Chain A
Amino acid sequence: MNNDNHTTPVLQVDSLNVYYGSFQAVRNVSFEVRPGEIFGLLGPNGAGKTSTLSAVEGLLKPQSGNIHVAGYSIREQPLYARANMGVQLQATSFQPELTITEIIQLYAGIYGVDLSKEQVLSILANIKLQDSANKKYGQLSGGQQQRISLVIATIHDPHLVLLDEPTTGLDPQSRRQLWVRIEAMRDKGHGILLTTHSMEEAESVCDRIAIIDHGRIIATDTPQSIIDSNRERPEVIQASRKGKITLEDVFIGLTGTEVRS
C-alpha cells in the first residue's frame, strides 16, 4: 500500500483527455475515489464512461491527464497500479477449458497470492459455489459467473475495485446479492468505482456519483445532493413522471431524452 492515510484517495483522476482519432471521448475529467467509498460513474451510451474506465485500467493511453491508483501512476508504474486494483470487466471471460478452481488459482498466482485447493474451496463456499468447484466457467449461470468474476477481482484484497456494469443481465435476486457483496467490500475499506445504467442501483448503492455526458462530468456529489440541487430545474421537472423527483429524472433532465446509440 502506497497510501498510509485512510483519507488518501485510492484512485485519483486528474484532467483526463481521451481521443479516438479526432473525436474527443473524454474531456478534462477529474474525480477521486476514497477508501471505503462506492463511487458511481453514470452516463448515457457513448458518454465516455467506458473510455474513462479503460484509461484507469490502463487499456488505453490517454492523450493527457494523470491517473494514480493507490499512489502509483498508471502510466509510469502500470504493473504496480494494476496490482492495487481489482477489475470486473463488462465483456470478459475466462479460459472456458479451465475449471473455476483452476481459474481462481491462476489469477491468484498472477496477483502473487498462493492459494491451496482447500483455500479455494473455502472461497467458493463463501459464494455458495463449492459444489461447482470442478465445473468449467462456461457451465455456470450468469449470476454464478458474476460471483466468480467478483471473487477474482478481489482475490488480492486490492485498494481499488473497478466494476463495469456489474449487474447487467442479472435477475433481481442476483442483483440484490451482488449489491450486498459490493457493500461488504466497501465496509472492508475497498474503494469501489462502478459504472451503471441503473439509477436504482446508483441511488441504492453509491455513496457518491458523477454524471458524465459528451465526455464531461456535469455533476458530482451524493445521489441525494444531486437530486436536491437539481430538483427545481425545468428540464428535471419535465422529466419527472410520478411527481416525486428521482435520480433518474435528474439524469434525464441533465443528459436529455434523446436515445444514444
Chain B
Amino acid sequence: MTTTIPSAGSVFIKLLRADMTTLWRNRRASLLVVLVPTVILISWKSIVAWKGGPFVLSNCITVGLTAIGLMGYSNTLARDRDKGIFQRLRVSPAPKWTIMTSRLTVQLFMILITTIVLFIVGDKFDGISLTPMGYAGGLAISIVCGAVYLSLGQVIVGLIKNVETVNVVTRLIYFIFIMVGMFGELGMMGEAMKQAVHWSPYGTVKNIISAAVVPTSWNKDSTMALLATLGYTIVFTVLGVRWFRWNTR
C-alpha cells in the first residue's frame, strides 16, 4: 500500500476557508481597519476642492493599506506564531507555502473590501467620482501597493518575537506613517520632509494610487514611484522571509 497525500490546492482551500472564517469572526477588528481611513475621507471633504479628489482618495487608501499590512496581518501572524498554531500546521502534510499564501489571500481580500468601501464613501460623501478605468486601476494598484505593507509587516514579525512588542511597534509605525505621511505630503513639515515622504513607502504608494484612479494623469513620476514600490516590496519580502521564524523559541 502507498500513502496518498491531499493535493496542495485542496489543502490551500481548506486553510483559506478557515482563515476567512477567522476574518469573519474578527469582523469588529476588521471594521476598525476600514473605519479609520473612512473617517479621514469624510473629514477631509474640504480638502477635495483644494488638493483634488484623487489626492484625498489615494491618501485614505494608503492609510487603509498601512493598517491592513501593519496591524491586521502582522498582529495575527505574531499571535498565531506565539500560540503555536503555525507549528501545529507545519507538522501536518500542508506545504509551507499554502499556510502563508492563505493568510496573504485573506489580507488581499481585505484590501479589496477597504478600497471598494473608500470608493463608495468618496463618491457618496465627498463627490469623488472616477471613470470605470479609474476604479479598475485603483483596485488593481491597491493590491500591488498592499504588498509593500504586507511584506513590511512580515519584516516586523521576523525581527520581533514578542507578540506584545509586535503590537506596540506596528501601532507606532502606523501612527508615524499616517501623521508624517499625510502632513509631510501636504508640506506642513518643511520641504526636506516633503521630499522624504514623497519617496517613502507611504509617498510612493500614495503617488501611484493617485495616478491609477485617474489613468490619464499617469506620468514618469508615477512610473518611478511604482518602481520604488516594487523595490521596497522585494527588499521587504526577502528580509521578511529570511528573518521569519515559525516559532518564538
The stretch from B48-56, B82-90, B197-205 touching chain A is B82-90
Contact among A2, A102, A112 with B6 in the assembled complex (CB-CB below 8 Å):
A112
Contact among B1, B18, B88 with A92 in the assembled complex (CB-CB below 8 Å):
B88
What is the distance, in angstroms, from B204's C-beta to the closest C-beta of chain A?
Answer: 34
Chain A residues, CB < 8 A from B87: 59, 89, 91-92
Contact in complex: B21, A98 (CB < 8 Å): yes
**Chain A residue with the shortest CB-CB distance to B23:** A97
Contact in complex: A95, B80 (CB < 8 Å): yes
**Chain B residue with the shortest CB-CB distance to A4:** B1
- Would you call A19 an interface residue if the criterion is a C-beta within 8 Å of the partner chain's C-beta atoms? no
Chain B residues, CB < 8 A from A96: 83
B71-121 interface (Cβ within 8 A of A) = 80, 83-85, 87-95
Contact in complex: B93, A82 (CB < 8 Å): yes
Residues 119-161 of B, flagged 1 when their CB comes within 8 A of A and 0 if not, give 0000000000000000000000000000000000000000000
Given contacts A89-B84, A112-B4, contact A82 B21 (CB under 8 A): no
Given contacts A79-B95, A110-B6, contact A89 B25 (CB under 8 A): no
Tally of A-B Cβ pairs under 8 angstroms: 92
Instruction: State A107–B91 Cα separation when bound (angstroms).
Output: 11
Given contacts A107-B92, A111-B6, contact A97 B85 (CB under 8 A): no
A1-30 interface (Cβ within 8 A of B) = 1-2, 4
Chain A residue total in the interface (Cβ 8 A): 31
- Would you call A150 an interface residue if the criterion is a C-beta within 8 Å of the partner chain's C-beta atoms? no
- Would you call A57 an interface residue if the criterion is a C-beta within 8 Å of the partner chain's C-beta atoms? yes
Contact in complex: B22, A106 (CB < 8 Å): no
What is the distance, in angstroms, from A8's C-beta to the closest C-beta of chain B?
Answer: 13
- Would you call B216 an interface residue if the criterion is a C-beta within 8 Å of the partner chain's C-beta atoms? no
Chain A residues, CB < 8 A from B242: none
Instruction: State A3–B22 Cα separation when bound (angstroms).
Output: 39
- Would you call A122 an interface residue if the criterion is a C-beta within 8 Å of the partner chain's C-beta atoms? no
Contact in complex: A95, B91 (CB < 8 Å): no
Contact in complex: A59, B83 (CB < 8 Å): no
What is the distance, in angstroms, from B117's C-beta to the closest C-beta of chain A?
Answer: 22
Contact among A83, A95, A112 with B18 in the assembled complex (CB-CB below 8 Å):
A95
Chain A residues, CB < 8 A from B246: 59
**Chain A residue with the shortest CB-CB distance to B248:** A91
B1-27 interface (Cβ within 8 A of A) = 1-6, 10-11, 14-15, 17-18, 21-22, 25-26
Chain A residues, CB < 8 A from B95: 79
**Chain A residue with the shortest CB-CB distance to B11:** A110
Contacts A57-B91, A95-B85 supplied; 15 other A-B pairs, CB < 8 Å: A4-B1, A59-B247, A80-B3, A83-B3, A83-B5, A87-B88, A87-B92, A89-B87, A93-B84, A95-B80, A98-B18, A109-B6, A109-B10, A109-B11, A110-B93
Q: What are 9 A-B contacts defined by CB distance under 8 Å? A: A58-B91, A59-B87, A79-B93, A87-B88, A89-B84, A91-B87, A92-B83, A106-B18, A111-B93
What residues of chain B have their CB less than 8 Å away from a CB belonging to chain A? Answer: 1-6, 10-11, 14-15, 17-18, 21-22, 25-26, 80, 83-85, 87-95, 246-247
Give me the 8 closest cross-chain CB pairs, A-B, nearest first: A112-B6, A109-B14, A97-B25, A93-B83, A92-B84, A83-B93, A87-B91, A1-B1
